[in-house]
Chain A
Amino acid sequence: MDTVTIEGTEYEVVAQRPKSLTDKPFTYCPGCNHGTTHKIIAEVVDELGIQHRCIGIASVGCSVFSYEFFDFDFISVPHGRALAVATGAKRMRPNSVLMTYQGDGDLAAIGTAETIHACNRGERVTCIFVNNAIYGMTGGQMAPTTLLGMKTTTSPLGRDAKRIGWPMKMSEMLAPLPGAAYIARVSMHDAKHILKAKAAIKKAFRAQLEDKGFSMVEVLSNCNVNWHVTPQEGVKFVEEQMTKNFPLGVYKDIWEEEKTASQTDKEEG
């Protein structure tokens, strides 16, 4: 039991900043879900006791400075290449725990090849994919996951499927690959879903720790600033529109598959 003494009185610590976060205050915009996503990742890392063997890969986008907030080894890498860098690091240090933290532009546009092939090789790495349907850092351009009709600085009349295609569904694309161990899509729009997101992230790390294969959690998030809405409206948009286009759920669960396979064996045996 952790205790803290304030003005001579000893108190029990019931909640505190996760040890896997540094003391640096988040620099993300008010209302953005990056901060909460960082926090639940750090809590998972603390709970699994892997802080001192975690290696983080910071990508390019709003989370380019994520290495300032997580308190473990980190490398900041070129746009879209996080899973290739993670591959090289994990192959050399199989006892370390690799986490990439990537946005939709990074993972689903410029890094599509690296993403698909890392998953297909079954790399023992964990990818946190934050999908907020827009390029936040560069000022609100269209992302591969921008919803149809959504106005951005490069789709000023709204995303038109005939011209630029449809929102990319990365979880659905990756889940059928045999290298995938755990693929889930979660949302950050309310406390209940944030708790579910944390459980999914924990499972994703477990997939790596148990040597099962590639794991990814797609985190639906908001960008109220570049969506030009209030934080409340942003959260509501995630709940009502984003989840409609990007259905929440577990797309691949290797433990469930193993269970089913062993049951089938028993029935057949």
Chain B
Amino acid sequence: MSDERVFMKGNHAACEGAYRAGCKAYFGYPITPQNEVTEYMSAHIWEHGGTFIQSESEVAAINMIMGASATGARAMTSSSSPGISLKQEGLSYIAMMELPMVVMNVVRCGPGLGNIAPHQGDYFQATKGGGHGDYRLITLAPNSVQEMAQFVYDAFVLADKWRNPAMVLTDGTIGQMMEPVDYTTMPWMDPPDKSDWQLDEFQEGRERHVLTSIWLDPVDMAVAHEKLIDKYERLKKEDVRYDEYLTDDAELLVVAIGSPSRVTHSAIRLLRQEGLKVGLFRPITVWPFPYDAIREYANSKHIKAILVPEMNWGQMIEDVKLAVLDKKPVHFVPKHGGLTFTPEDLTEPIRAILNNPEDPNTLWHVS
């Protein structure tokens, strides 16, 4: 495919972002609504000198990725919620061994089998570790087809920069919709040199390389933990990303990610026509979360209240509240069952909140 503007599906664009980042291994298992990734990879990764395996399970896929990444290759897997749960074991080992790789979650509705409609129920899992042990994934949340490609591409760069697994946390809507994508911001690249730690066939004349996540002596394990945590603290300072839309004069700040942030855009355009000052703050890295930037808004004079719409029972709102620290009321609009927001779902509560920002009732049920 040429580097011009192309009209395509989010899940396909993610693959093109991966190819441009030099991804040479994709291992995955079918699950809706991310099958387009596995199918597109099976058809096209060969053109880029890569390899595809349809694995026997999500568990096998993530472990194949572990093997590929350990040899220094850029490697990616993807799935949707139930399959991502199965990958958590592998991700925990990958995080402790500091193996760079990319995993994409095209989130569907859970718990259990749930359904195949878009949802945001995996936010906690994506941003607080997900598997056993104390670790984090660098987690990017796209809200357009352009960003599906760009954030997969960026995730590879960040994963290698920090030697850490990175996740692209999207939802069924963003994965399935079609939009134009401009690839000029994603020049073709090769992975950085990893010869100081990778497993390979060139061991003559060098010390052997060992990758492990086991330290039986707690004193040694503490050292390994501290190394990880030191990395996470540096990461929190250097690579927090977010986007702002009409926030300079906003009296109400909406904090949203994924497809609800797109609906928020529409709602804001409607409300601005009525003269209501509403803005959108969109975390791009949901880990590390932009606490400081949100805290600045909470401390600013023009912000009267904050609203968080989520397609779940309230997950990201906990991070927003940690940032706001009760400086301003934080209102919540949920959407359940795999249903998606309409602009009206947001305009109605926003008008009411701006009429009475201190309303103690901060939970807005919308049908």
Verify that A and B bind, or say they do not. yes
Whether a CB of chain A sits under 8 angstroms from the CB of B151 is no
Question: Contact between B53 and A52 (Cβ–Cβ < 8 Å)?
Answer: no
Known: A52-B201, A77-B66. A93 touches B71 (CB 8 A): yes
Whether a CB of chain B sits under 8 angstroms from the CB of A71 is yes
Question: Contact between A72 and B60 (Cβ–Cβ < 8 Å)?
Answer: no
Q: In the complex, how many angstroms separate the beta carbon of A89 from the nearest chain B beta carbon?
A: 4
Question: Contact between A92 and B24 (Cβ–Cβ < 8 Å)?
Answer: yes
Whether a CB of chain A sits under 8 angstroms from the CB of B113 is no
CA distance A47 to B27 in the complex (A): 34
Chain A residues lying within 8 Å of B51, measured Cβ to Cβ, are 91-92
Whether a CB of chain B sits under 8 angstroms from the CB of A88 is yes
CA distance A116 to B201 in the complex (A): 26
Whether a CB of chain B sits under 8 angstroms from the CB of A214 is no
Question: Contact between A88 and B200 (Cβ–Cβ < 8 Å)?
Answer: no
Chain B residues lying within 8 Å of A81, measured Cβ to Cβ, are 59-60, 63, 66, 90
The closest CB in chain B to the CB of A64 belongs to B214
Question: Contact between B212 and A76 (Cβ–Cβ < 8 Å)?
Answer: yes
Query: Interface size (A, Cβ < 8 Å)?
Result: 37
The closest CB in chain A to the CB of B61 belongs to A84
Option from A53, A76, A87 in Cβ contact (under 8 Å) with B201 = A53
Within 8 A of B (CB), among A35-70: 51-55, 57-58, 64-65, 67
Whether a CB of chain A sits under 8 angstroms from the CB of B158 is no
Residue of B61, B67, B68, B200 with most chain A CB atoms under a 10 A cut-off:
B67
Chain B residues lying within 8 Å of A89, measured Cβ to Cβ, are 67-68, 70-71, 199
Q: In the complex, how many angstroms separate the beta carbon of A223 from the nearest chain B beta carbon?
A: 20
Whether a CB of chain A sits under 8 angstroms from the CB of B167 is no
The tally of CB-CB contacts under 8 A between chains A and B is: 134
Known: A67-B212, A75-B212, A92-B25. A87 touches B64 (CB 8 A): yes
CA distance A78 to B66 in the complex (A): 10
Binary contact track B199-240/A, C-beta < 8 Å → 1, others 0: 111111000111111100000000000000000000000000
Whether a CB of chain B sits under 8 angstroms from the CB of A96 is yes
Question: Contact between B93 and A73 (Cβ–Cβ < 8 Å)?
Answer: no
Chain A residues lying within 8 Å of B27, measured Cβ to Cβ, are 88
Question: Contact between B214 and A87 (Cβ–Cβ < 8 Å)?
Answer: no
Whether a CB of chain B sits under 8 angstroms from the CB of A172 is no
Question: Contact between B55 and A52 (Cβ–Cβ < 8 Å)?
Answer: no
CA distance A88 to B93 in the complex (A): 15
Whether a CB of chain A sits under 8 angstroms from the CB of B306 is no
Question: Contact between B210 and A92 (Cβ–Cβ < 8 Å)?
Answer: no
Option from B57, B69, B200, B213 in Cβ contact (under 8 Å) with A76 = B213
Question: Contact between A51 and B203 (Cβ–Cβ < 8 Å)?
Answer: yes
Question: Contact between B25 and A117 (Cβ–Cβ < 8 Å)?
Answer: no
Whether a CB of chain A sits under 8 angstroms from the CB of B56 is yes
Binary contact track B35-74/A, C-beta < 8 Å → 1, others 0: 0000000000000000101011101110111111111110
| 28 intermolecular pairs with C-beta atoms under 8 Å apart | A52-B204, A53-B200, A55-B201, A72-B203, A73-B199, A74-B208, A74-B211, A76-B211, A81-B59, A81-B90, A84-B59, A84-B60, A84-B61, A85-B66, A87-B60, A88-B67, A91-B51, A91-B64, A92-B24, A92-B67, A92-B75, A93-B200, A96-B201, A97-B201, A113-B56, A114-B60, A116-B56, A117-B60
8 pairs of A and B residues whose beta carbons are closest in the complex = A88-B67, A53-B201, A88-B64, A84-B63, A89-B67, A85-B67, A88-B68, A81-B63
